[in-house]
Amino acid sequence: MSSVNGNQEESSTRDSTTGDILDSSVGSHADTLLKRMQHFVDNQQLCDVVLIAGIDGKRVSVHRLVLSASSEYFLAMFAGSLRESKEHEVTLGEVHGDALQLLVQHCYTGSIELHEDNVKMLLATAKMLQLTSAVAACCNFLARQLHPSNCLGFAFLAEQYSCTELLRVAQAYTCQHFMEVCHDQEFFQLNADQLGKLLSDDELNGPTEEDVFHTMMSWVRHDAPTREQHIPELLAKVRLPLLQPLFIVDHVENVCNASNECQQLLFEAFKWHLLPPERRSLIAATERTKPRKHICCGLLAVGGTDESLKGVTTIESYCPHLNKWTTWKQTIEYRCKLGAAVMNNKLILVGGYHERQVLNSVESLDLNTMACVPLNPMRTARCNVSVAVLGGHLYAVGGNGDDGSILKTVERWDPIARTWSYLSSMCTGRTCPGVAVLDLRLYAIGGSLGNRSMESYDPQTNYVSLMSAARSSPGVGLFGRCSYAIGGSLGNRSMESYDPQTNKWSLRAPMNRSNGEVGVTVANGFIYALGGLCDGYHTKTVERYDPTTDTWTVICSLAVERYGIGCALLGDRLIAVGGSNGNSPLNDVEEYDLVRNVWNQLAPMSVPRVRPHVFNIPNIIPPPPAP
């Protein structure tokens, strides 16, 4: 039973002329009037028009006033200059008598009894008669009955009668339960346009894009002689570049035949796979290269330091369609200040610091099998090292050596030869630099520079001797009446790029504001630097680097000021994870909408982290184990 009531609260007013109290119980008064009118209708008293159902000829006596107050359709009919305004009997074509009777009762009572066998008929009639409250009641009823066996039919019904909210709910339900819907008979009754719209939906929820392709082909084979002609237009809705190359060869090529449209789609997919990840951003992005939200990759947050400056040992995974972080696994070894990268579905852990020792060890965790194996150690022990993958090789950039020095050396791991080799050193030493790969070049951005200087402060003269500099984590001391600041790290706005063809580093335009501990990622051919330190203070500035013009541009700022941010690209959004506000580590997570130029808050991590390593992982990675 669905009902719409319009009763109002009771109110009392005083007649200023006579001084009497006039009780006006508006709600009960309206109920009484409607009940009396309903009684008149039931007994066919005082009715001024008879409605005749065009389908079965059923006659319903009513009051024009009540119908006109309930519906714009009847208001235009009875209060205007139409012929029906003067007629005693009005025939309503395409209306069934039982539906007409129930909807007339709804005008008098505000209630209507709905069942699975009458709701569709009532919806069609109520929509025609512009009884908006009855339409809303029917839509709400249908929304509560959604099931994989009927959601496509309900969506078609909602589209037919322009019920936008029911259409939205039915489409969302269809996408969410896609793998169940595609096995129901309703699915095979879709036409090519309807299936194309469904396959185009970014919300489509399937285990993999391979399943989406198989579903499309099952629809085609249901009536192959008439449906094979639609393969090119439907294949364009499948995100072929996201399919594995072997799958394309085994399953997709043999259905393409000689179609020019299909061949172009295959060429796009193979080109996407032939290019290394760092060059894919040069290709014009299409819907086919963008993972669906539910099939979309997730994130892994690895390492980082906690409030006590100890290494965080847990790995957390983020599910974008649940907006939820889950503890995924313990790290391989208790260590902090390590470098990390994902390479060929393996998590590579590089260097770090453990028990007062800087490490050169390297380990590989297979994200599919969870098997962990050691790799050959680096030639230099490094902590606070940054790691990136370029051209199938792993690069370890800068960091701190075992004597505390800030390194400008760079090493490269060859996974075929399984060896580390030195490359040309950077122009300057950097610890915790941001690293990025763009246009077949490796970029080292910001980081902290070593600082051997010492300055003293005399409180009597209020004078600072030697040079004055912003310092991160300096040594401080007191001797006599003077305070001393010794060493520490200086902020660094500089950026340099490495060309593997020439084995040379070249300076590029420096950042505008941030000068250390920035989070760095790449999207759509730009480098983004998030947060960081500016003259010793944490900032929420975000800058974007354009390699074609060698310029930095300040864009929309983060919501939270912080440095030591972990960054990754998830679908078409930049994700900023963790960091520090200068006093404590944060678990804040924000996403940047590149189109709208705004930052939005996401679910926080379970564990606050400074300098976490954050990676986009494919959906073939197994989900976290159950608690």
> 430 near 449, Cβ under 8 Å?
yes
Residue 395 above 70 pLDDT?
Answer: yes
**The pLDDT of residue 85:** 73
Residue 449 above 70 pLDDT?
Answer: no
User: Highest mean pLDDT: which of 229-243, 469-483, 508-522?
Assistant: 229-243
**The pLDDT of residue 226:** 94
pLDDT tens for each residue of 2-14:
444 444 344 444 4
Residue of 364, 363, 365, 406 whose CA lies nearest to 382? 406
Query: Is 111 buried (19+), middle (13-18) or exposed (0-12) by CB count in 10 A?
Result: middle
369 compared with 271, residue with greater pLDDT: 271
pLDDT (mean) for 173-198: 92
Residue 155: which pLDDT band, with cuts at 50, 70 and 90?
very high
pLDDT tens for each residue of 527-569:
999 998 887 788 899 999 999 999 999 999 999 899 999 999 8
SS3 at position 165: helix
User: Highest mean pLDDT: which of 35-49, 287-301, 449-463?
Assistant: 287-301
Residue 284 above 60 pLDDT?
Answer: no
Round to the nearest angstrom and report the end-to-end CA distance of the chain: 42
Residue 182: which pLDDT band, with cuts at 50, 70 and 90?
very high
SS3 at position 27: helix
For the chain, residues classed under CATH 3.30.710.10 are 2-8+21-145
**The pLDDT of residue 313:** 84
> 578 near 565, Cβ under 8 Å?
yes
Name the least confident of 5-19, 40-54, 282-296, 375-389.
Answer: 5-19
Residue of 552, 513, 519, 345 whose CA lies nearest to 432? 519
Q: What is the CATH number of domain 2-8+21-145?
A: 3.30.710.10
> 47 near 40, Cβ under 8 Å?
yes
Class for domain 190-289, per CATH? mainly alpha
CA dihedral of 575, 331, 370, 178, whole degrees rounded to 10: -30
pLDDT tens for each residue of 611-625:
999 998 765 455 544
**The pLDDT of residue 93:** 85
pLDDT (mean) for 41-55: 78
How many C-beta atoms surround the C-beta of residue 570 within 10 A?
Answer: 21
pLDDT (mean) for 258-284: 77
For the chain, residues classed under CATH 2.120.10.80 are 298-451+488-617
pLDDT (mean) for 148-160: 93
For the chain, residues classed under CATH 1.25.40.420 are 190-289
CA 491, chain centre distance (Å)? 33
**The pLDDT of residue 12:** 42
Residue 459 above 70 pLDDT?
Answer: no
206 compared with 114, residue with greater pLDDT: 114
Q: Which amino acid is at 480?
A: G
Strands 49-53 and 89-92, by their bridges, are: parallel
417 vs 177, 361, 396, 412, CA distance in Å?
47, 17, 17, 11
Q: Which amino acid is at 416?
A: I
- Give me the percent of the chain exceeding a pLDDT of 70: 82
Residue of 499, 490, 459 whose CA lies nearest to 472? 490
pLDDT (mean) for 42-62: 81
Output the 3-class SS for 568-613.
EEECCEEEEECCECCCCEECCEEEEECCCCEEEEECCCCCCEECCE
Residue 87: which pLDDT band, with cuts at 50, 70 and 90?
confident
Dihedral sign for Cα atoms in the order 150, 152, 155, 157: negative
**The pLDDT of residue 621:** 53
Give the position of tokens 């847990």. Answer: 314
161 compared with 24, residue with greater pLDDT: 161
The mean of the pLDDT values for the chain is 82
Residue 511 above 80 pLDDT?
Answer: yes
pLDDT tens for each residue of 92-109:
988 998 999 899 888 888
Length, in residues, of the chain: 627
Q: Residues near 274 by Cβ (< 8 Å), separated by ≥ 6?
A: none
Name the least confident of 78-82, 252-256, 442-446, 616-620.
Answer: 616-620
Residue 187 above 70 pLDDT?
Answer: yes
Name the CATH superfamily housing domain 298-451+488-617. Kelch-type beta propeller (2.120.10.80)
Q: What are 180's two structure tokens?
A: 């169940």
Residue 150 above 80 pLDDT?
Answer: yes
SS3 at position 614: strand
pLDDT tens for each residue of 305-339:
888 778 888 888 888 767 889 887 776 567 788 99
377 compared with 34, residue with greater pLDDT: 377
> 346 near 367, Cβ under 8 Å?
yes
